Amino acid sequence: MAKLYFKYGVMGSSKSAQALITKFNYEEQGMRVWLIKPAKDTRDGLEIVRSRIGLEEKGDAFDQEVDLFGVFQEREKEFYEVIIVDEAQFLAPSQVEQLRDIVDIYNVPVLCFGLRTDFRTKLFPGSARLLELADSISELKTICACGKKATVNARLDQEGHVITQGEQVFLGGNESYRPMCYRCWKKAIHKETE
């Protein structure tokens, strides 16, 4: 029985690397994989899924208005045996529901990799819907500079100070975000307001 999976972690927890490794493992077994990502993620090019460690693959990018269930049905001739989604936090809630329908109707597993919360520790709409609908939810872990488990995507300004104001979506890498434990994040916020 296929499942909808949500594998979440903070920035730097190897989500994209895990997505690409998973794709490789399925393909090594002769299975067809549909690698997709939201078009909102343009950091490495519209149709590129790239990890910080250098793995990369071409995938399909879709705007939030695209009906993923409809696209899946249109591509029936190239039937996919698994779907892997990178940057799943940027999915529209309706797209999460469409992926859920693919799982239930076509018995195709869907593995979603993404952030759970933003730099203010607030859920992304796509992540919230995944937490509500996924059959399996697991955390990909990384550590804070203090050695504790990182749970916050701390956003940095150009001087490297932690900030808590701004748009929910701001694309960036190590220059813009740092994984932190909640305690260190709170300390950094208080330090900036003193």
Number of C-beta neighbours around residue 123 at 10 A:
16
DSSP labels, 80-120: -SEEEESSGGGS-HHHHHHHHHHHHHH---EEEEE-SB-TT
Report which of 83, 57, 68, 67 is spatially closest to residue 5, judged by C-alpha positions. 83
| Residue 170 marked in a binding site | yes
Report which of 79, 136, 77, 71 is spatially closest to residue 108, judged by C-alpha positions. 79
| Residue 54 marked in a binding site | no
| Residue 112 marked in a binding site | no
Q: Please confirm, yes or no, whether 87 is among the known catalytic residues.
A: yes
| Residue 60 marked in a binding site | no
| Residue 171 marked in a binding site | yes
| Residue 184 marked in a binding site | yes
Question: Which residue is catalytic, options 27, 56, 65, 87?
Answer: 87
Which parts are annotated binding residues for substrate?
169-172, 177
Catalytic residues: 87
Which parts are annotated binding residues for Zn(2+)?
144, 146, 181, 184
Which parts are annotated binding residues for ATP?
86-89
Which parts are annotated binding residues?
86-89, 144, 146, 169-172, 177, 181, 184
